[in-house]
């Protein structure tokens, strides 16, 4: 916490974005949409998010292998 000028702007922006998400997102409607979604398409949409780079995919494969 030596250099407050470096981390404070980022922390304030992050807090503001989290507050905006909590204010504007209807979590009940979002959960209903996820429950009614086709999970095959949902998994296909989430795969690129989870496997952003080779290290993430390797880490997931290592976790699955035990």
Higher-pLDDT residue of 15, 61:
15
Neighbours of 21 (CB within 10 A): 10
Greatest Cα pair distance, the chain, in angstroms, is: 49
Mean pLDDT of the chain: 84
Domain extent, residue 45, equals 4-65
What are residue 40's phi and psi, to 5 degrees? Answer: -65, -45
| Domains: count for the chain | 1
Look at residue 1 and tell me whether its pLDDT is greater than 70: no
Give the whole-angstrom CA distance, residue 51 versus residue 60: 9
């Amino acid at each position: 916490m030596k250099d407050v000028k470096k981390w404070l702007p980022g922390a304030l922006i992050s807090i503001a974005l989290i507050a905006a998400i909590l204010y504007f997102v209807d979590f009940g409607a979002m959960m209903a949409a996820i429950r009614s979604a086709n999970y095959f398409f949902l998994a296909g949409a989430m795969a690129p998010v989870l496997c952003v780079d080779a290290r993430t995919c390797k880490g997931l494969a290592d976790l699955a292998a035990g």
